[in-house]
Amino acid sequence: MARSILYKPVTWPIQSFAVSNDFRSPGPALLLLDRANAEFGLIYQTEPGIAVMAQFPDTEEPVYFQASKARAACTRFNNSCKKVCILMQHLQLDLTFMTGAHAADFLRRLGRIATRVGNLHFEVHEAASNAIMGRADFSMEKEGYGNCSTQAWMAIPDDNTSEWARIYKTAKCTDFKIIADGRVFPAHRVLLSTRSQYFNAVCDGRFSETAQRSITLPESAETVSTLLQEMYEVYNPTTGSIFANFALRRAIEKEQVMDNLAALFIASDKYGLEPIRNKVSFAIIDRLPFVYDPLAIVDLASTVYHEGFPAMDCDLRKAVIGLLQARLPAVMDDEEAWREYVGNQAVVKALHSHQCEMLENAQNGLLTPPVTPTKK
C-alpha cells in the first residue's frame, strides 16, 4: 500500500514503467503523488532522503501526469495483476507495481482524485486477461479501452478558469485594498469575508480598516501576493507543480521556494485560512525529497522549530526532522550546515528526541538513547 502518513510523501514502489513503448525505465522507481496539485510523477530514490526526477532521455522533460487530464486506466481486477495502464491525450503510461495490492491502491487513489478535480470523464477498464495486459505492445486505444468522449475530455477547465481566478486576473469591481511592503493589492470583500474570519471581521466590523476599506499587513509583498492567489484559486509557481516547477531547479532556487512556502504556511495559519494551510503543508512535505543542500535542510529545520512557528504545524516538524535524520551525514560533512545545526538548541533537541523515538519503535534497537553526534 502507498504510504499515507501525513508527514511523509505518498509513494508507490514501481518495478518498471514505460511511456508509449518509446521509453522504458532503467530499473525500479517510485511513483510520487503531488498532493497539492493532483499530479503523479516518476522518481528514483538514490539514497535515504534523496530522490531524483525521471526524465525523458531525448527532451529531459520530467515524467509525470495530471489526474485532471487522464482519459482512462486499464488493469485486471485481481490480486495478481501488478500492471496499470494510464491513457493520456498523446501517450500511454504503463506502470508495473511491485505487488498487485500496490496497483489496486494506486488506482483507487487516482479515481478519487480524478473525481475531486472535476475529471468526470475518467474511466477504468478491465483487460480481458493477464496475458493481454502483459504484452509489451499492449495499447488501450487499439483494444478499445480509450475514452471516446474526446471533446468532453478536452473541455476540462485549466488551472486558472475558476470564476474567482478570472475575476482576480481582470481585477474588476474590487472594493478593498491590502497593502504590504508599500504594494497595493486590490481585492473583493465578499471573497475575503467568506475565506477567513479574520478578514470577515476586518471587512464587516467596526474597525478603522473597515471604514477605509484597506488594511496594511506586516508580511512581505510576495507572501501576500501568493496568499491572495491561493484565496482566488489562481495557479502560482510557489505551490505549483513539483515536477514541472521544482524538482529540476537549482539548489538556490529550491531554497527560495521552500522559504516562500514556510512564510505562506505561517501567514495562512495566522489569518485562519485552514484549507490553504493544509495545502501548503503538503506542498512542503512532498518537496522534501528534492531538497539536497545540507544547509537548506538545516535552515528549514530552524524555521519550523522557531518559537514563532505555528503550534498546529500539520506535522511539518516531524517531516523536516525526519529529513534531517536521513541527511545527517551530509550535514556533518558541510561546515556551514553543521555549524548552524549545533548552534540551534531547539533543532538539536528535536533531533535527539526523534532518535530516541526511533529506538523505542525499533524491534532490535539499543537500550540507551544516542548522544548528539559529534564530528571526528
CATH number of the structural domain spanning residue 75: 2.30.29.30
Claim to verify: residue 167 and residue 147 sit in the same structural domain: no
pTM for this predicted structure:
0.90
From the list 100, 95, 21, the residue with the least C-alpha distance to 64 is: 95
Claim to verify: residue 104 and residue 189 sit in the same structural domain: no
Spatial distance between the Cα atoms of 282 and 286, rounded to a whole number of angstroms: 6
Claim to verify: residue 318 and residue 333 sit in the same structural domain: yes
Spatial distance between the Cα atoms of 72 and 138, rounded to a whole number of angstroms: 14
**Based on the structure, what is the number of domains in the chain?**
3
Low-confidence ranges of the chain (pLDDT < 70): 1-5, 147-161, 363-376
Spatial distance between the Cα atoms of 43 and 64, rounded to a whole number of angstroms: 9
Claim to verify: residue 278 and residue 360 sit in the same structural domain: yes
- Domain-located, residue 338: yes
Claim to verify: residue 36 and residue 123 sit in the same structural domain: yes
Claim to verify: residue 303 and residue 268 sit in the same structural domain: yes
Last residue of one domain, picked from the residues 209, 233, 257? 233
- Domain-located, residue 262: yes
- Domain-located, residue 254: yes
- Domain-located, residue 337: yes
Claim to verify: residue 18 and residue 99 sit in the same structural domain: yes
- Domain-located, residue 240: no
Last residue of one domain, picked from the residues 107, 122, 154? 154
**CATH code assigned at 207:** 3.30.710.10
pLDDT at 146: 75
Claim to verify: residue 43 and residue 168 sit in the same structural domain: no
pLDDT at 156: 44
- Domain-located, residue 87: yes
- Domain-located, residue 244: no
Maximum C-alpha span of the chain = 72
Last residue of one domain, picked from the residues 184, 204, 233? 233
Claim to verify: residue 200 and residue 165 sit in the same structural domain: yes
Q: Domain of 214? A: 160-233
Residue type present at position 324:
L
- Domain-located, residue 217: yes
Claim to verify: residue 16 and residue 140 sit in the same structural domain: yes
Claim to verify: residue 276 and residue 359 sit in the same structural domain: yes
Answer whether 113's CB lies under 8 Å from 105's CB.
Answer: no
Claim to verify: residue 211 and residue 264 sit in the same structural domain: no
